[in-house]
């Protein structure tokens, strides 16, 4: 286990100090402070490992000392004067224990309902069918197509095409079904041809 203190510095000169424990020194960790998380372009940040420690207790004390030395300095973006949180392994074990007991935040019914409502509201707000006029026209058109047998999924050639395996010429992914056609071929991210 690697235990170390670090300093994350932005191109603006602002910085954040903290600690990290990991089994993989190249895990790409770049800090978990609020300021660091809110920076969208992480390429503006650089990380410097300050010191390694033999155990978590020494690491936690060193972080507290480091924060107290920097908290009032100009450019320091640490908000708390104390060292909070767990080491990675303890956090994982606690999370698993909470899930086994059924007491993890994501398992609570009120939180599930809240997440579902937020996602539903977001979808309804941004979906074109949230406009009642468009919804009515689309719904009428769909009913008519299904009634007349002209809907794409009622056409034999479309059903046969969707049930076969196809290989995208751009990314070489193999698959079948409507999702394959939605995300590949002309719509593939690897398709660099400008039309």
The pLDDT tens digits of the residues spanning 139-163 come to 777 778 777 878 766 677 766 676 7
Q: Is residue 144 part of a domain?
A: no
Do 6 and 74 lie in a common domain? yes
Position 195 scores a pLDDT of 38
Position 40 scores a pLDDT of 82
Q: Is residue 51 part of a domain?
A: yes
Q: Is residue 29 part of a domain?
A: yes
Do 17 and 62 lie in a common domain? yes
Do 75 and 119 lie in a common domain? no
Do 36 and 59 lie in a common domain? yes
Strand partners of residue 99? none
Q: Is residue 147 part of a domain?
A: no
pLDDT at 188 over 90: no
Do 105 and 61 lie in a common domain? no
Tokens representing residue 168 in the block: 């995208």
Do 41 and 63 lie in a common domain? yes
> What's the predicted TM-score (pTM) here?
0.45
Return the minimum-mean-pLDDT range out of 27-41, 103-117, 175-189: 103-117
Position 10 scores a pLDDT of 92
> Cα separation of 35 and 142, whole Å?
48
How many CB atoms sit inside 10 A of residue 29's CB? 16
Q: Is residue 57 part of a domain?
A: yes
Do 79 and 8 lie in a common domain? yes
Q: Is residue 6 part of a domain?
A: yes
Give the count of domains, the chain.
2
Mean pLDDT computed over every residue of the chain: 77
Instruction: Count Cβ atoms within 10 A of the Cβ of residue 19 and give its class: 0-12 exposed, 13-18 middle, 19 or more buried.
Output: buried
Q: Which of 162, 174, 168 is nearest to 188 (CA)?
A: 168
What CATH number does the domain containing 70 carry? 3.40.1440
Range of the domain at 103: 97-124
Tokens representing residue 19 in the block: 């600690």
Q: Which of 65, 37, 38, 36 is nearest to 51 (CA)?
A: 65
Position 9 scores a pLDDT of 93
Q: Which of 41, 1, 45 is nearest to 19 (CA)?
A: 1
């Amino acid at each position: 286990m690697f235990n170390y203190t670090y300093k994350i510095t932005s191109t603006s000169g602002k910085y954040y100090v903290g600690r990290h424990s990991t089994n993989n020194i190249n895990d790409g960790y770049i800090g978990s402070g609020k300021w660091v998380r809110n920076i969208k372009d992480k390429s503006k940040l650089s990380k410097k490992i300050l010191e390694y420690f033999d155990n978590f207790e020494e690491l936690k004390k060193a972080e507290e000392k480091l924060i107290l030395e920097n908290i009032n300095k100009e450019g320091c973006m640490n908000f708390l004067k104390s060292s909070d949180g767990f080491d990675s392994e303890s956090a994982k074990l606690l999370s698993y224990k909470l899930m086994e007991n059924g007491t993890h935040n994501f398992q609570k019914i009120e939180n599930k309902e809240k997440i579902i409502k937020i996602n539903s509201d977001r979808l309804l707000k941004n979906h074109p069918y949230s406009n009642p006029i468009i919804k009515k026209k689309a719904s009428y058109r769909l009913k008519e197509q299904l009634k007349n047998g002209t809907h794409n999924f009622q056409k034999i050639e479309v059903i046969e095409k969707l049930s076969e395996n196809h290989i995208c010429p751009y990314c070489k992914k193999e698959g079948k079904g409507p999702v394959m056609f939605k995300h590949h071929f002309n719509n593939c991210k690897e398709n660099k041809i400008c039309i």
